[in-house]
Amino acid sequence: MGKTALVVDDSPTMRQMVAFTLMNAGFTVIEAEHGRDAVSKIAGKKMDLVVTDLNMPEMDGIALIKELRKSADFKYTPILMLTTESATEKKMAGKEAGATGWIVKPFNPDVLLSTIAKVLPA
Amino acid sequence: MSNEFEQFQDAFFEEAAEHLAIVEEGLLQLEQRPEDLDLLNKIFRSAHSIKGASGMFGFDAIAQFTHKMETLLDLLRSGKKIVTPGIADLLLKSTDCLKTLMEGVKLNAPVDENVVQRLSTELAAVSAGEGERASVTPPTSASEPSASEGAYDIRWTPPEWLFRRGLDPLQIFKELIRIGRLSRVNVDTSRLPDLNGVNPETCYLSWTMRLETAASLKEVESVFEFVREDSELSIEAVTVPNPAPEGSGTNVQREIKTATSEASEDGPKSIGEILVESGAVSKEALERALSQQKRVGEILIEQKAATPQQIEQALQTQRQMEAAAQAKKADTTSIRVDTAKIDKLINLVGELVITQSMLSDLGTRFEMGQVHVLLERIAQLERNTREIQERVMSIRMVPIGTAFSRFPRLVRDLAGKLGKKINLVLSGEETELDKTVIEAIGDPLTHLVRNAADHGLETPEERLDNNKPEAGVIKLHAFHEGGNICITVEDDGRGLNRDKILAKAVKQGLVSDGAALSDDQVYPLIMRPGFSTADKVSDLSGRGVGMDVVKRNIEALGGTVSIKTVYGKGTTFTLKLPLTLAIIEGMTIRVGRETYIVPMLSILESIQPKPEAVKTVVGKGELIDVRGIYLPVIRLYNVFNLKPEHVDPAEAILLILETEGERVAVMVDEILGQQQVVIKSMEQNFRKVQGIAGATILGDGTVGFILDVRGLLEIARQGTPMAA
């Protein structure tokens, strides 16, 4: 596919799992620990997809989404947030910030990929 | 949830352990700074991470329990509850419980469900105390639909700002087509303004359509998952005008649909089940059909694509791989290494390869005139090797902070139990130490800290009477010193009572009454087996066991324990440890034609004594007067039955060695030099020999023995030379 994805999560395990699934699906993955890390790593780059956790140090997911939507390169990029069942307020805030969709933890690789298929232009 | 994520389980356990440490440490700090929001956020994030990741592996008990903790933490974080000692205590206990749960899934160990249950209830009760914010997860709104009707009429008006969230109606249609067939699609363009007024980022359109599909209402709704709440959306199930229940084209299509989606985990029922349920096929017929299904191996054999032997072998390989995977799971101790360290190592290996090729190049056309080039290359090889050795060793190095991290909690609990006020000060946590050493010093350190809290520090009243601050201080400090790591455990308590120790030692027959002993000889007495001066046996420490075990453990690591104390002011225990267990810095010495290695750690000095300094005392053997202190002399050639160069101490060299605060002078012929040696065990390769700690291969390929200083002291005490 040759598509690129940004995966942002402060938990290395979660990040690796998401990155692993995406790489198996043919993505080139950039991993970042938190929002600020992500912003610095993608400077000047365009991505096809962003998957981000919400609760993170330094710069959380909501702030990251807002930041990304400000940039012309990420205005229409699908952004998925990783949420937990109970975090409805977070989900709302994420949508407000411009998140395309969400994946509720826990999920399995199939759910992750089918959710991505929903938002990723062919 | 069994899937390919399982390979990340070990990583999860490691990460979770780190998070648990953060939570615990954070909670302890929180007691001092209850209003610290950053701290609360940090604790919350760690708990949240554990919850999120544990769910991914199906560790539901952990996820649920952490969720309860998280709920309470969230209340604290948002200021709806304040941190009280009770809450802090509950959260700390919950952290312990979480640790047990984690161990439980990791090692398949049993977990006390009662404790989990009790704490869960307590957490929920405390959280619910706030009333409206009890953690009730709302039931999922979409109720399970009845059996699929076959078609849905959909009316959809997306929100105008759809594009601004990276959403695209086209995606929705793509998804709908994937699960069914769209017909009667109508676009409502009535809201579309004049071209001049069009904002390209706004969605003006709405649609009506019919979707023919075998998918359930829930599945259709899920297509709109990300837009549903913001759209005007209605999805109505309709009965298709000519349903043609039996054998029609639609039915076939549905079967295919189901068959393909079978692969997904929570997919709909299998064709077989549906056929049986609809009455189209009898259960027996289905079972007959299924029994005809063959395994891959059988089919391959039938098609002559593989021989039975090959299949059998493949099956065996599969079983072996399964067994290996199982075994691997059982015990993996892993270590996290900074990628920079590995990169550096790879660079060095590259350099080594270059040196090697330069050497072999030189070897093919070597002339005697090039000896200096050869020596240069060899020197380079030596540099490479040493550097690689150091780097590889450094990979095993982890900061000692991991061993220190348990103490804040321990000291807090001890202080509570003992009714003392204790401040714990940690420093030098970043000092790096071999992982095995770190693991092994945990218990001895714990013992020392317990001792300091229990016996070292006085009660608050006693302290105030002695003009000391009410709160006692225990300091843990780690630092490098030479090639060693020193860890000090210091308290500002009552100090050791020299007279009491001496009196007890005399009573136990460890020293003779009236013997003039130096401080360095008196204080280590408390590390003799069975020695305890604590007046009464307390719950915490001082059952007469302890210090001797600490000493033994540290010495097993090749380290030493020393004590400094001022009566009434405090006590400091210093643990001196080697950086690593596998390699020691040694002094090579010669006796006759044999070479031995003495651990640098135990060498105090080397002297060439005056003839009159060595005296023979009846019953004590030979003694040497070193600046007024008499030390026993061991002639190494006697111990190992060698033919020495010198028999007169005045011509030979005496090494003053120290271990456990005791000193001995060892007589050797010559000091050859200093080098790092790799220790090979004697017990594993031969048998234990008194006075020998191990062996190593020397530069010229011969075997050199490493002297065991403690063993030599024993020999000196017994006065019986050993035959080697």
B225 touches chain A (CB under 8 A): yes
Query: Residue B164: its chain A contacts at CB < 8 A?
Result: 69, 75, 98
CA B67 – CA B44 distance, rounded (Å):
10
| pLDDT tier for residue B541 given thresholds of 50, 70 and 90 | very low
Greater pLDDT, B108 or B267: B108
Kindly list the residues from chain A whose CB atom is less than 8 angstroms away from the CB atom of residue B138. 88
Preferred mutation among B56, B62, B69 to probe A, highest tally of A CBs within 10 A = B56
Task: Write the residue in B5, B44, B166 that is nearest to A119 by C-beta.
Answer: B166
Q: Which chain B residues touch A84 with a CB distance below 8 Å?
A: 48, 51-52, 55
Q: Looking at beta carbons, which residues of chain B come within 8 Å of A119? A: 166-167, 171, 226
pLDDT band at B180 (very low <50, low <70, confident <90, very high): confident
| Cross-chain CB nearest to B53 (options A13, A76, A102) | A13
The superfamily CATH assigns to domain B150-290 is ACT domain (3.30.70.260)
Task: Provide mean pLDDT across the span B188-210.
Answer: 85
- Work out whether strand A4-8 and strand A49-53 pair parallel, antiparallel, or are unpaired: parallel
Each residue's pLDDT tens digit, B200-229: 888 888 888 888 888 888 888 888 888 888
Yes or no: say if B377 and B416 are a contact pair by the CB < 8 Å rule. no
Which of A83-87, B25-29, B468-472, B625-629 shows the lowest mean pLDDT across its residues?
Answer: A83-87
Q: Does residue B542 have a pLDDT over 60?
A: no
**Per-residue confidence band for B721, with pLDDT thresholds at 50, 70 and 90:** very low
Looking at beta carbons, which residues of chain A come within 8 Å of B56? Answer: 13-14, 17, 105-107
CATH class of B399-578: alpha beta
Compute the count of residue pairs across chains A and B with CB atoms less than 8 Å apart: 109
Which candidate in A58, A77, A108, A110 is best for mutational testing of the B interface (most B CBs within 10 A)?
A: A108
**B260-264, B295-299, B508-512, B645-649: least confident range:** B260-264
- Contact, A91 vs A97, CB < 8 A? no
Please check whether residue B95 is in contact with residue B62, taking contact to mean a CB–CB distance below 8 angstroms: no
B45-97 pLDDT per residue, tens = 898 888 888 888 888 888 889 888 988 888 888 888 888 888 888 898 899 88
Lowest mean pLDDT across B160-174, B270-284, B462-476: B270-284
Instruction: Return the higher-pLDDT residue of B277 and B233.
Output: B233
Per-residue confidence (pLDDT) for residue B274, from 0 to 100: 66
φ and ψ of B37, to 5 deg: -70, -35
Please say if the pLDDT value at position B255 is more than 60. no
pLDDT of B722: 43
- A28 close contact with B: CB closer than 8 A: no
Residue B460 tokens, joined: 């608050």
Pairwise CB contact (< 8 Å): B165 & A99: yes
Determine, for residues B45 and A107 on separate chains, whether the beta-carbon distance falls below 8 Å.
no
H-run or E-run covering B671: strand B670-678
Q: How many CA atoms does the CB half-sphere of B52 hold within 13 Å? A: 28
B67·A14 Cβ contact <8 A: no
Does residue B122 carry a pLDDT above 50?
yes
pLDDT at B252 over 80: no
How large is the average pLDDT for residues B145-174?
Answer: 78
Report pLDDT digits (tens) over A90-108: 888 888 888 998 888 888 8
Examine the pLDDT at B533 and tell me if it is beyond 70. Answer: no
Contact B8/A110, CB-based, under 8 Å? no
Task: Give the residue with greater pLDDT, B198 vs B268.
Answer: B198
Cα separation, B652 vs B650, in Å, equals 6
- Strand order, beta sheet including B472-481: B422-427, B472-481, B484-491, B570-578, B560-566
B167 reaches A (C-beta below 8 A):
yes
pLDDT, tens only, B399-450? 888 788 888 888 988 888 888 889 999 998 888 888 878 888 888 898 899 8
Q: What is the pLDDT of residue B3?
A: 61
Residue A79 sits in which domain range?
A: 4-119
**The predicted structure's pLDDT at residue B511:** 78
Domain count, chain A: 1
Average pLDDT over residues B684-707: 81
Name beta bridge partners: B239.
B150
Angle at B73 between CA B67 and CA B74, to 5 degrees: 85
Span B464-471, average pLDDT: 90
The residue among B479, B445, B657, B478 whose CA lies nearest residue B551 is B445
Task: Supply φ then ψ for residue B471, to 5 degrees.
Answer: -90, 130
Indicate if the pLDDT at residue B2 is higher than 90: no
**Mean pLDDT, all residues of chain B:** 79
Q: For B595, phi and psi rounded to 5 degrees?
A: -110, 135
d(CA A11, nearest CA chain B) in Å: 6
Query: How large is the ipTM?
Result: 0.79
Poorest-confidence range of A74-88, B282-296, B639-653?
B282-296
What's the pLDDT score for residue B294?
Answer: 67
pLDDT at B569 over 50: yes
pLDDT tens digits for B371-390? Answer: 888 999 888 898 888 888 87
Q: Is the pLDDT of residue B268 over 70?
A: no
Q: Could you say which of 1.20.120.160, 1.10.10.60, 2.60.40.420, 3.40.50.880 is the CATH number of the domain covering B4-128?
A: 1.20.120.160
Mean pLDDT of the A23-35 span:
90
pTM score: 0.51
| More confident site: B290 or B178 | B178
Q: Give the residue among B691, B402, B440, B675 at the shortest CA–CA distance from B555.
A: B440
User: Given an 8 Å threshold on Cβ–Cβ distance, is B1 in contact with A106?
Assistant: yes
Question: Which residues in chain B touch residue A12, judged by CB atoms under 8 angstroms apart?
Answer: 11, 15
CATH number among 2.30.30.40, 2.60.40.420, 2.130.10.30, 2.40.50.180, domain B583-718: 2.40.50.180
| Helices within B419-526 (DSSP H only) | 435-451, 460-465, 498-507, 519-522
Sheet of strand A101-105, all strands in order from the earlier edge strand to the far edge: A28-32, A4-8, A49-53, A79-84, A101-105
Pick from B656, B687, B651, B689: nearest CA to B669: B651
pLDDT-based confidence at residue B544 (cuts at 50, 70, 90): very low
* Omega cis (within 30) before A106: yes
